[in-house]
Amino acid sequence: MTRLSTAPPPTQPDVQGQTRRGFFKALEIDLRVFGMVVALVLIFVGFGLATDGRFLRPVNLVNLAVQSVSVAIIATGMTMVIVARQIDLSVGSIVGVVGMTYAYLMARVLPDAIGFGSPWIWVIALAAGLTLGSLIGALQGFIVAYVGVPSFVVTLGGLLIFRGATWMVTRGVTISPVDPTFQLLGGGPRGSIGGTASWVVGGLACLAIVALLASGRRQRLRFGFPLRPMWAEALVGTVSSLAVLGIVWLFYSYKWPPALAERYAAETGITIPPEGLAAGIPWPVVLLLAVTLVMSFVATRRRFGRYVFAIGGNPEASELAGINTKWTVMKTFILIGLLCAVSAAVATARLDGSTLDLGEGYELYVIAASVIGGTSFSGGIGTIPGAVLGALVMSSLAYGLSFMGLSSPIQDIFAGIVLIIAVAFDTINRRRKT
Amino acid sequence: MPEGVPLVELRNINVSFGGVHAVKDVTIDLYPGEIVGLVGGNGAGKSTLIKTLSGAQKPDSGDIYIDGELATIHGPMDAKQLGIETIYQTLALAENIDTPGNVFLGRELLTPVRTLDDSAMEDATRKVMKRLNPRFLNFKVPVQSLSGGQRQSVAIAKAVQFNARILIMDEPTAALGPAETDVVRDLVRQLKAEGIGIFLISHDIHDVFDLADRISVMLQGDLVGTVKKDDVTMDQVLAMIIIGKKPDEVTDTELEQLHGG
């Protein structure tokens, strides 16, 4: 505070638009992420109007969310990779080979080895897949960081190698089924956490928001930094909590289909309430939320994340600052390999098995999601929530267009146009700022 | 020559890049509270020589002594642990990161749960900036949106934040306007008064004459010699830089030719 009284007043920026900017400045929200949320809402409203509201039924929105999970999970890792001025084209093939590993272990190997129906089957399979994904990432990352082969080349090779390996191991056949517990990761009414648990998750999220705001305020008080006005704190807290509760309400409105619900009620001995049995938040969405939180934490609160951004901003300066840049780059590849394995688990669970083409084309959707979410190809710029929102935008478009009966080629055309518009918008916006 | 044990001694340093012998058997030293100007034309080897001290370049042979003791410097971190800080000509800032992030890059302050303690870093940065550049206010924006002088302040803050004993400044005023140059010169004097030893690399002979106590001149990888500033004229130093002759070797005709040509 003394700083403010002794220092000359900062020069005023241009007067036009100042109050609006002042409003957002006081709120201290990330304008680009906010813009993405607005875009997403516009897409929902647009499709809602075009389909007389049918698009906005809970079951559709929930399906759409579940469909975006596989791409969104990898997009969080791709953001880190691109921020570090690298690229990973092999993600789809890693999903393929790890997905096949899950299915092969659960359908062919483990039931014979440790007994059919053992609760360890999915644990062992999952551990093996996550390890495999990380190892593939480590190998590619090592070649990129320590041998110095451009990541475009290494991962293009990886794309071919791991798809080929998947084919060779399975000889092209589909492998099914996966373990019933593992299947929960695929979503659907059975793979959802239920109505009560959903409200608990929502309540916890609201508490977390309040705790986060309070701890931020405490940090600033600790050093006497200017505080965010109380009205802004209250507004941010209220709006985010309402948004969280609204989303939970959406998932709560997602009910079991009556026939399935009756069978499930008979199995478990529960009674179905008159308004229908709420399925709640699907497990894959819970997983995506967890991944988003952890990755955001890693990207913004951990040294590793800071170093990834520093390397993207200025690799030489990072080296001179004593950062182990090679190891940091290798770690981003380990991370994305691990996330590919997580994503493969969701994809395999949804399919109840693995096919040869599992994950094919993911690299393009993942990169597009990350870039739509504001990640810059010149490195150093990108956010995790942006990447997840980017994936949601893409899957909303795809889902909405197919809902309107438009064919897959038209969906691709739209996705391409949106990608270019999003980046053009971003480029212009950034140019105006500097 | 100052008394006592030198703060830094670079002894018989050699660096080659392929066939180019960039630094040839150079020996220089630096005492506490002293400014040694290191001058020479482009490609004279002064930046390469000083990089062996900052840990950015491994010498092919030669030894570095700090406080009279043999030091091993394998990388930038080793140098920093010895209290050697470098302000690079390029400033070496991560443009996308804010000022506290740059000041503490590679040496972040952490909370007890090992997350980044951004508030503590901002607080420390505000304190050091108050000393260096009290008008600096933009702590939360990426450094790419700062002016040249402000960016220079960030680069200097990055070096002095960690109680450097030895400061290497590579062309600290090259990118600055006159007013900003004066600020940096005052700052250099202030740091000298605090007992910090400073190697000042500069093209600008006026800078060097204004600030340095001694001047070491390099030409094509060789050390031409080290002279006390008070014993020489600017022309004599120019003769060392251009034709490689020490004040006692150079003739009056050669000195005149410096101005003629």
Read off the pLDDT of residues A221-230 as tens digits, 9 standing for 90 and up.
888 888 888 8
HSE-up (13 A, CA, CB side) for residue A188: 16
Residue B76 exposed, middle or buried by CB count within 10 Å (0-12, 13-18, 19+): buried
- Measured CA to CA in angstroms, residue B55 lies from A117, A322, B28, B34, B83 at distances of 59, 9, 17, 21, 12
Which strand (E) or helix (H) includes residue B223? Answer: strand B222-228
Residue A221 near residue A301 (C-beta atoms within 8 A): no
Residue B36 near residue B213 (C-beta atoms within 8 A): yes
Alpha-carbon distance A144 to A87, whole Å? 10
Q: What is the residue extent of each domain of chain B?
A: 8-260
Residue type, A15: V
Q: Between A222, A317, A323, which is nearest B93 by CB?
A: A317
Edge-to-edge strand list for the sheet holding B214-219: B84-87, B166-170, B197-201, B35-39, B214-219, B222-228
Q: Average model confidence (pLDDT) for chain A? A: 90
User: Chain B residues with CB inside 8 Å of A310's CB?
Assistant: 94, 97, 101, 105
User: Chain A residues with CB inside 8 Å of B74's CB?
Assistant: none
Neighbours of B20 (CB within 10 A): 12
pLDDT at B181: 83
pLDDT at B207: 83
Closest residue of chain A to B147, computed from CA coordinates: A434
Mean pLDDT, range A378-395, rounded to an integer: 94
User: Chain B residues with CB inside 8 Å of A321's CB?
Assistant: 76, 92, 105-107
Q: How far is CA A38 from the centre of its chain?
A: 18
Which strand (E) or helix (H) includes residue A151? Answer: helix A151-170
- Measured CA to CA in angstroms, residue A287 lies from A68, A159, A295, A394, B108 at distances of 12, 26, 12, 19, 31
Residue A119 exposed, middle or buried by CB count within 10 Å (0-12, 13-18, 19+): exposed
User: Chain B residues with CB inside 8 Å of A380's CB?
Assistant: 94-96
Name the architecture of domain B8-260: 3-Layer(aba) Sandwich (3.40)
Mean pLDDT, range A21-42, rounded to an integer: 79
Q: Which residues in chain B land under pLDDT 70?
A: 1-3, 260-261
- Compute the C-alpha angle B155/B161/B164, nearest 5°: 95
Closest residue of chain A to B91, computed from CA coordinates: A317
pLDDT at B243: 87
| pTM for the predicted model, two decimal places | 0.90
pLDDT at A229: 87
Tokens linked to B217: 């001149």
Contacts of residue A86, Cβ cutoff 8 Å, sequence gap at least 6? A144, A151, A329, A332, A333
A325–chain B nearest CA distance, Å: 11
Task: Tell whether B70 lies on the interface with A, counting CB pairs under 8 A.
Answer: no
Mean pLDDT, range A78-107, rounded to an integer: 97
Residue with tokens 């090679």: A326
Residue A127 has pLDDT above 90, yes or no: yes
Is the pLDDT higher at B195 or at A150? A150
Q: Where do the CATH 1.10.3470 domains begin and end in chain A?
A: 54-188+283-434
pLDDT at A3: 37
Residue A170 has pLDDT above 90, yes or no: no
Q: Note the pLDDT tens digit of each residue in A292-307.
A: 999 999 999 999 999 9
Name the architecture of domain A54-188+283-434: Orthogonal Bundle (1.10)
Q: Would the CB atoms of A223 and B116 count as touching at under 8 Å?
A: no
Residue with tokens 């590849």: A333
Tokens linked to A423: 């980046």
Alpha-carbon distance A426 to B24, whole Å? 51
User: Chain A residues with CB inside 8 Å of B80's CB?
Assistant: 322
Percent of chain A past pLDDT 90, that is, above it, reads 68
Mean pLDDT, range A135-158, rounded to an integer: 98
pLDDT confidence bin for A234, thresholds 50/70/90: very high
pLDDT at A18: 47
Task: Tell whether B95 lies on the interface with A, counting CB pairs under 8 A.
Answer: yes
Of A36-40, A158-162, B122-126, the range with the lowest mean pLDDT is A36-40
- Kindly give the interhelix angle for A283-301 and A303-313, rounded to the nearest 10 degrees: 70
Q: Between A312, A313, A322, which is nearest B75 by CB?
A: A322
Residue A12 has pLDDT above 70, yes or no: no
Q: Would the CB atoms of B119 and A317 count as touching at under 8 Å?
A: no
Q: Would the CB atoms of B97 and A313 count as touching at under 8 Å?
A: yes
Q: Note the pLDDT tens digit of each residue in B104-146.
A: 999 999 999 999 999 999 999 999 998 888 888 889 899 999 9
Q: What's the distance, Cα to Cα, between the start and end of chain A in Å?
A: 30
pLDDT at B69: 93
Residue A284 near residue A186 (C-beta atoms within 8 A): yes
Residue A7 has pLDDT above 60, yes or no: no
